[in-house]
Amino acid sequence: MPQSRLIKIKTTGLPTEHVCATWTSIPKEIIDNYGEVTLAVDIMTISKIPFMVNTSRNIHFGTAQLIRNNTKDMIMTSISQVVWTYQARGFQVCNILADSAFKCIRDSLSEMGIALNVSSRNEHEPEIEQYIRKVKERVRSIANSLPFR
């Protein structure tokens, strides 16, 4: 092998510039109009792996967090992290829409100043159910496009 080819193989590339991760502030008009956030939350399972999924009304910002189980402590930890994420950007979570599986955290949420609206028996929150369908559809399409089984 030629000497120049060996040097090219054994050397590393030039370092790239670092990504700037500074946050800009949210415009005042957005905070004024959408500062009070209503979240829709539910637990989604993919291949028997549970995820806490939520989306906000009007802002349409959604997150999914891996959770170990469906216990009260795990659900509250996950929701607290989401609430902190909104508060760090200047938003205030006022309401959470959920199904009857979330009744156990009503008192903990009221201590945080958040009202929990639980849907009736055999009903689900349409906003979060639609978001879960969209996420699952995208996960399936990515999984099917992978070059291995």
pTM to 2 decimal places: 0.78
Residue-wise pLDDT for 123-135, tens only, equals: 888 999 999 999 9
Provide the CATH number for the domain formed by 34-145 in this structure. 3.30.420.10
> Where are the chain's structural domains?
34-145
Please name which of 68, 56, 70, 32 lies closest in space to residue 125, comparing C-alpha atoms.
56
Give the pair of three-digit tokens for residue 22: 């500074």
Positive or negative: CA dihedral 34, 26, 114, 133: positive
Strand (E) or helix (H) holding 7? helix 3-10
Label residue 104 by pLDDT band (50, 70, 90).
very high
